[in-house]
Amino acid sequence: MKEINIGLCGLGTVGTGVVKILKNHQDEIMYKLGSQIAIKKVLVHDIHKQRDVVVDQEWLTNDPEELVSNPDIDVIVEVMGGIEDTNLLMEQALRNNKHIVTANKDLMAVHGQKLLRLAKANNCDIYYDASVAGGIPILRTLSDGLASDRIQKIMGIVNGTTNYILTKMTDDKLAFDDVLKEAQELGFAEADPTSDVEGLDAARKMTLLANLAFKMEISLDDVETSGIRDISQEDISFATSLGYTIKLIGIASINNGKVEVSVEPTLLPQDHPLALVKNEYNAVYVYGEAVGETMFYGPGAGSMPTATAVVSDLMEVIKNIRLGISGNAYVSPQYEKLLKENKEKYTKYFIRMAVEDEAGTFQKITNVFSDEKVSFAKILQLPGSEKETAEIVMVTHQISKQQLINSLEHLKGLSVVNRIISYYRVDGEE
C-alpha cells in the first residue's frame, strides 16, 4: 500500500500540533485510510532552532524548493501564513501536481478562486476547512450536504475576537474600548484589531462559505461589511429590553438564484441558538432545503483545534487521491454571479433616533415610514439625554434595504429628527 508523503510548510503552534497528531494517531489513521502518512520535509526559517516536538533533523529545510518541487511529496500542508509569497509557492506546488491543505484564510479569501481553478486544471485538491472556523468542520459538512441538499441561507458567528468583545459588553456592561484592551491583554485580540473589529476577517470567511454554498465566484468586494466599533451600551441595553442579543453575524442567502452576502451587527432573538454562542466561540447556522435548520458550534481558532482540522482535511485529500477523484472536492463556480439589489434584500431593522419632544413629532415620523410602506413590530419612546428631546426605538416588519435607505433619507430631512443614532439588521425571527 502506497505511503503518502507530505511536505509541511511552517512549524509554529499549528504545525507542531499536526506533527504530534500524525505521530500519536498513526494506527487510527492507517485504519481509516488504508495508507500511512509520512512527513518528508518541513519548511522552517531556522533549521537549528530548538523545537518542542521531536522532528527528524533530516526533515528540516529553509528552501521551499525542497517541498514544492520534490517529486517524492504528494501533499503540501501549509500552516505558515502570509499572502503573496505563500500564493506564489502554492501556485508552484499545484503546477507540480501537489495537493494542498491550508489553514490560511487570508490566502484563500484573496487568491482562493484562482488557486482552486489552478488545482482543478492539475487534478489536484485544495482543502482549507481549518481556515474558516478552526474546530468546526463546516466546509466539509456543507460540501457533503450539498451533494444531496440545497443551501438557502447561512448565518455565522465566524470571528472569535468580536464575539468575545460583544459578549463582555453585553454580560458585563463594559464599553467597547475597555473590552478591546482586556481582549488584547488576554491574547484574544491582536495589537492591531482592525481586521477583526471592522468585520474584514469575518467577511473573508463568509466569502469562502458563500462561494462553496452557492457555487458562484463571490469576491470580498461583494460582501457588505460593517464592524462593531460603533455599538454602544445604549444600543445593547435597548436590544436587551426588546428581547434581542447583538452579534456580529455573517449572512449569505440565495433567493431565485440571486445572492446576498454581508457581515454586520445583527439583533437576534435571545432564544435563537446563535444568541448563546459566547466569548471566543464560533458557530455556523445552515438552512438547507431538505434538512432544514442545522448548527455547528465550536472553537473558531486555537492551535490544537486548527491542527485537528488540518489533519482531517489531509485525510480527505488522501482518500481522494486513492479514489482518483482529486480536484472534484469543492465544486467550482457553476453559476454566473448574481447579486441581490437593495430592493431585493428583505429583513427587519432596529432603528434608533433622537427627536424633538414636541407635539406632532411622532406623527411626522410615522408618516415618513408609512409613505415607504414600512410598518412596525415594536416601538419604544422615552425621554432623550437632553431637555425637550426624546428617543424613539423601532423594530420594523420585513422591509427591503431600499425601503430602509429611503426612509432614513426622508427622516434626516425632518426638522423634528435630530439624529439617526443607529440602525441594525434584525434576523432569526419567524
| Nearest distance, CB of residue 310 and its own copies, angstroms | 9
**Binding flags for its own copies, 132-161, as an x/- string (CB under 8 A):** ---xxx---x-xxxxxxx------------
271 interacts with its own copies by CB under 8 A: yes
In one-letter notation, the amino acid at residue 263 is: V
Of residues 284-323, those binding its own copies (CB under 8 A): 288, 290-299, 302, 304-305, 307-308, 311-312, 315, 319, 322-323
Helix (H) or strand (E) holding 417: strand 417-426
**Binding flags for its own copies, 216-255, as an x/- string (CB under 8 A):** ----------------------------------------
Contact yes or no for 19/8 (Cβ under 8 A): yes
Q: DSSP letter for 421, please.
A: E
User: What are the counts of helices (DSSP H) followed by strands (DSSP E) for the chain?
Assistant: 15, 17
Known catalytic residues?
205
Burial of 190 (C-beta count, 10 Å sphere; 0-12/13-18/19+): middle
409 interacts with its own copies by CB under 8 A: no
Pick 312 or 407: Cβ nearer its own copies: 312
**Selected range binding its own copies among 88-96, 283-291, 410-418, 419-427, rule: CB under 8 A:** 283-291
| Nearest distance, CB of residue 277 and its own copies, angstroms | 7
| Nearest distance, CB of residue 47 and its own copies, angstroms | 27
Pick 148 or 385: Cβ nearer its own copies: 148
Choosing from 273, 357, 381, 418, the residue that interacts with its own copies (CB under 8 A) is 273
To the nearest 10 degrees (0 to 180), the angle between helices 105-121 and 84-95 is: 20
| Alpha-carbon Rg for the chain in angstroms | 24
DSSP string for 14-39 = HHHHHHHHHHHTHHHHHHHHSS-EEE
| CA neighbor of 78 nearest in space, from 321, 324, 307 | 307
To the nearest 10 degrees (0 to 180), the angle between helices 233-241 and 160-171 is: 70
Of residues 7-26, those binding its own copies (CB under 8 A): 17, 21, 25
Pick 322 or 378: Cβ nearer its own copies: 322
Pick 121 or 291: Cβ nearer its own copies: 291
Contact yes or no for 314/194 (Cβ under 8 A): no
331 interacts with its own copies by CB under 8 A: yes
Residues binding its own copies: number (CB under 8 A)? 56
Of residues 70-129, those binding its own copies (CB under 8 A): none
Positive or negative: CA dihedral 80, 309, 164, 347: positive
**Binding flags for its own copies, 354-393, as an x/- string (CB under 8 A):** ----------------------------------------
CB atoms within 10 A of CB 135: 23
Pick 7 or 135: Cβ nearer its own copies: 135
CB atoms within 10 A of CB 215: 16
C-alpha span between 379 and 77 (Å, rounded) = 54
| Nearest distance, CB of residue 135 and its own copies, angstroms | 4
Pick 47 or 121: Cβ nearer its own copies: 121
Contact yes or no for 7/40 (Cβ under 8 A): yes
Name the site residues for its own copies (rule: CB under 8 A): 17, 21, 25, 28-29, 31-34, 135-137, 141, 143-149, 271-273, 275-278, 281, 283, 288, 290-299, 302, 304-305, 307-308, 311-312, 315, 319, 322-325, 328-329, 331
